[in-house]
Amino acid sequence: MSASQLRRMWVVALIMGFAFLVIVGRLFAFQLTQGEDFKEILITDLPVTDQPERGVIYDRNGSILAVDRWDYRVAISPSILTDPEELANSLAPILQIPRSQLLYDMESPDMYVVLAKRVSSDVADAIRKIEYADEVQLEPLPRRFYPQDSLMCHVLGFVNFDNEGSAGVEGKYQDILAGQPASATVAISPLREQTPVIAREGSDLVLTIDRSVQYVVEQHLKQALVEHGAVSGSIIVMDPRTGALLAMAAEPCYSPNEFYDLEDGATFNPLVSAVYEPGSVMKLITMAAALDSGTVKPETTYNDTGAIEVGGHISYNWDRGAHGVVDMTTLLARSLNVGAATIATWMGPTTFYDYFQRFGFGHPTNIDIMSEAGGLMPLPGSEEWQESFLATNSYGQALAVTPLQMISSVSALANKGLLMQPYVVAEIHNENGVEVHEPVPVGQVVSPNTAAQMTAMATIAVQAEVQEALVDGYTVAGKTGTAQIAEPFGYHPTDVIGSFIGWLPADDPEIIVFVKLDRPKSAPWGSMTAAPVFSKLAKELVVLLDIPPDAVRLQADIDAARGGG
C-alpha cells in the first residue's frame, strides 16, 4: 500500500469516526436533555375504531327486507394528480358535475378535497374504469337498502345517513340492529402487545310477516282505494291466538330507499300513530262488557224508541228509526246506537270504563314498532270527560283509537277472551344464538263463555246484515263501522270512515282482519265499502295461509275423534 493510499484511508476513518461521535453525542443529548420533550410528541399508539355492520331484517320465510349496501364518497388529493384536465373530463359526465367545478376543486391548495359526498356503487364502478382512477379516492359509506322497495314501508321504517333508524322496526330496534362500535388505542410497535378492536355486529331480525301475504294485502288495499274513491286506508291481519302480525298495510306508502326525498309527513305511520273515531265496530266491545258484567244476556230486550238522551246529548240510530222491542243479537246485527247507549247506561261509568281499559283503549299496545300512540279516552273524573260520553263512547264516538288498538281489542273476542300483545319481530339472531319471541298474554279481559257468545252473535250479524263480508266455505264473525270524521268545528257533513273487522273460521279463528277506508265516495256505509274488501281479501288469505274450509276442518275433527275412539 502506497503512502498516498494510506493517508486517504486514515482521512476516511477519521471522518467516519467523527460522524459516529456526533451521532452518539446527539443521541446522548436527546436522552438526557430533551428526552421528555420528544416523548410527548413521539407517536407510539394510534386510535382505532371498528364500525359494525347493521343487522339484516328478514320476513318469516327468510326473504331479505332490509340490508346494508355501500355508497361512496369521492375525494382527491390535488397535489398528486397527474393530469387534472383529463381527470376532470372523465369525471364530469359520471358525477354529473360541471368540468369547470371539478377543475377548480382539483387546483385547490388543500391536501384533501371531496368531489361528491355520496354516490351509488354503480357510479363508483364507472369511476374505477377511467384513466387515472387510482388517483381518485372512493371511501365506502354504509347505506340501508330495501330490496322490496315500498313493500311494508310503515312496518320497516327507514334508516338515515347517520345509520339511525327513524321509524318502524328500524327505529324501535335501533340499538339491536346497529350493534356497538369498538374503539381503542392500539400500539404501532410490533414489539408491544396488540389490542384487538372488534365491534359487536348488529343483530338480525326475523319478522312475523310473510312478504307474499303482505303483497296481496297491499294490492287489495290499493284496488279498494281506487274502487271506492277513498283518499287513504289501512288493512291489518293478525293471528288472534298469539298477537303475531301477519300483514300491516297503509296507503299512501313511500319508498324507504328514498327517505331523503320525501314530502313532510310522508313517513308518518297511520297504523300505530294516527287516531280516529272508530264508530260502530266499538259496539262489539260495549256488548262484550255488558255480557261479561252480567248486565245483559243475549236474549235481554229493551224498547228502542229511536233516541236516547244522556248528559244532555241525544243519540239517534243511524237510520233515525225506532225499532221497538229488540234483543241483544238484533241490536248488534242492526248496529243500533240507541241500544248501545242504553246498555252502557245500564252498566254505569265505573263498569263501562273498567272494561274499556281492560281491552286496551287509552294506552299503547306496546307493539315493537316506533312511535305508537295511546289513543284518546277521557275517563270519569277528568276535566275532559262529559256524562254524554258514556253514550257516545258506546258506539265509537268522542274517543279515538289507532287501527292497531281496534283490531287488538277485538282479537280478544276471537281468542276466548284472552288479549295478546301484538308484535312483529319473531326472532332476534345475535352472537349468542337465537332469541325467539314468546307470545305475551295481556290479560283475560272477558270470560271464554262471553267470548263465545260474542262470536256467535257477531256471526249471526254478518249472515243477517253484512252478507258482503261472507267468505264461501267459512263462517265469519265480524262487525262494520261507519264513523263520522271529527274536525275542529264539528263532524264533517258528508265524509265518513268505513271499516270492518272480521275473524274466521268463527268457531276456531286463525286470522282476524281489519279494513279501514278513509272518506270513500262510492257509498256512505262500511258494509258497502270495507266489508266487500274484507271478503275479497279473505278468500285469498285462506289459500295463502292454508286455512281449510269449515267442512274439511270439521270432517277432519270427526275422523280424528273416531280414530281416537
488-545 per-position pLDDT tens digit: 888 898 999 999 999 999 999 999 999 999 999 999 899 999 999 999 999 999 999 9
Instruction: Find, among 307, 324, 483, 322, the residue nearest to 399 by Cα.
Output: 483
pLDDT of the residue at 2: 63
| Mean pLDDT to the nearest integer, 263-268 | 90
pLDDT of the residue at 489: 80
494 lies in the same domain as 383: yes
122 lies in the same domain as 20: no
Any idea what the CATH number is for the domain that residue 105 is in? 3.30.70
* Confidence label for 197 from pLDDT (cuts 50, 70 and 90): very low
Instruction: Find, among 529, 506, 505, the residue nearest to 517 by Cα.
Output: 529
Residue 204 located in a structural domain: no
pLDDT of the residue at 149: 95
Q: What is the pLDDT of residues 104-114, one digit of tens each?
A: 888 888 888 89
Residue 280 located in a structural domain: yes
DSSP tag of 281? G
| pLDDT-wise least confident of 21-35, 202-216, 329-343 | 21-35
d(CA 519, CA 308): 28
Residue 73 located in a structural domain: yes
Kindly compute the dihedral angle of the four CA atoms of residues 447, 453, 455, 459, in this order, to the nearest 10 degrees.
180
Average pLDDT, rounded, for the chain: 89
Residue with cell 299512501: 252
Residues 6+ away with beta carbon under 8 Å from 397 = 277, 279, 483, 484
Percent of the chain with pLDDT over 90: 68
240 lies in the same domain as 139: no
437 lies in the same domain as 338: yes
| Long-range CB contacts (within 8 A, 24+) of 97-104 | none
125 lies in the same domain as 270: no
d(CA 108, CA 77): 9
| Mean pLDDT to the nearest integer, 387-402 | 97
Supply the pTM of this predicted model.
0.84
Which of 120, 147, 174 represents a domain boundary (last residue)?
147
Residue 201 located in a structural domain: no
Q: Are 271 and 236 in contact (CB under 8 A)?
A: yes
| Mean pLDDT to the nearest integer, 25-41 | 55
30 lies in the same domain as 75: no
306 lies in the same domain as 227: yes
96 lies in the same domain as 29: no
- Whether the predicted pLDDT of 37 surpasses 90: no
Q: What is the pLDDT of residues 5-30, one digit of tens each?
A: 666 666 556 666 666 666 656 656 55
- Whether the predicted pLDDT of 195 surpasses 70: no
Which of 147, 163, 193 represents a domain boundary (last residue)?
147
| Mean pLDDT to the nearest integer, 336-364 | 97
Residue 192 located in a structural domain: no
d(CA 230, CA 10): 105
Cell reading at 92 = 364530469
Number of domains in the chain: 3
Q: Give me the sign of the Cα torsion angle 27, 32, 37, 39.
A: positive
pLDDT of the residue at 88: 87
Which of 99, 118, 147 represents a domain boundary (last residue)?
147
- Whether the predicted pLDDT of 248 surpasses 90: yes
Cα–Cα distances in Å, from 102 out to 81, 105, 553?
A: 13, 5, 71
* Confidence label for 33 from pLDDT (cuts 50, 70 and 90): low
pLDDT of the residue at 41: 45
d(CA 549, CA 262): 44
User: Phi, psi at residue 219, to the nearest 5°?
Assistant: -65, -40
- Whether the predicted pLDDT of 31 surpasses 70: no
Query: Parallel, antiparallel, or unpaired for β 182-187 and 136-145?
Result: unpaired
543 lies in the same domain as 496: yes
Percent of the chain with pLDDT over 70: 85
Residues 6+ away with beta carbon under 8 Å from 489 = none
Residue 171 located in a structural domain: no
pLDDT of the residue at 228: 97
Cell reading at 367 = 307493539
pLDDT of the residue at 6: 63
485, containing H or E segment = strand 477-487
Half-sphere exposure of 417 toward its Cβ, with a 13 Å CA cutoff?
16
Residues spanned by the domain of 391: 211-559
73 lies in the same domain as 22: no
405 lies in the same domain as 327: yes
Residues 6+ away with beta carbon under 8 Å from 114 = 73, 74, 75
Rg (CA), the chain: 35
Residue 49 located in a structural domain: no
Residue 564 located in a structural domain: no
* Confidence label for 44 from pLDDT (cuts 50, 70 and 90): low
11 lies in the same domain as 115: no
| Mean pLDDT to the nearest integer, 454-470 | 93
Q: In this predicted model, which residue has the larger pLDDT, 291 or 81?
A: 291
Q: In this predicted model, which residue has the larger pLDDT, 152 or 524?
A: 152
How many residues comprise the chain?
Answer: 565
d(CA 52, CA 142): 10
d(CA 240, CA 421): 10
pLDDT of the residue at 477: 97
Greatest CA span in the chain, whole angstroms?
Answer: 143
